[in-house]
């Protein structure tokens, strides 16, 4: 195996580690989705030409964050119920 191929193997291991670190439950995936959606809407609000559009995007972003919080709570409850010692990615680390 050449050095170029060994570098590819190292890179693929890093990618594989990122994939396995992702959330594996639907609730976890929905937390990620709603977080991304809130960030997208915040960006649109910042670039809106008219204030009424910015306020609309801000309200939508707040609703997206609220949806994400619902799923984060469900994910945290699942982690707590399973008795895992380590908090999942949805947990904020605060009790």
- pLDDT tens, residue by residue, 35-44: 999 999 999 9
Q: How far apart are CA 95 and CA 85, in angstroms?
A: 14
Q: Judge whether residue 51 has pLDDT over 90.
A: yes
pLDDT at 82: 84
Nearest to 89 by CA among 29, 13, 16: 29
pLDDT at 59: 98
């Amino acid at each position: 195996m050449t050095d170029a191929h060994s570098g590819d193997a190292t890179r693929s291991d890093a990618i594989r580690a990122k994939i396995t670190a992702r959330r594996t439950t639907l609730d976890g995936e929905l937390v990620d989705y709603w977080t991304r959606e809130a960030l997208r809407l915040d960006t649109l609000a910042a670039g809106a030409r008219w204030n009424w559009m910015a306020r609309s995007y801000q309200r939508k972003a707040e609703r997206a964050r609220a949806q994400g919080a619902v799923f984060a709570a469900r994910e945290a409850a699942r982690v707590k119920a399973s008795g895992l010692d380590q908090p999942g990615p949805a947990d904020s680390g605060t009790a």
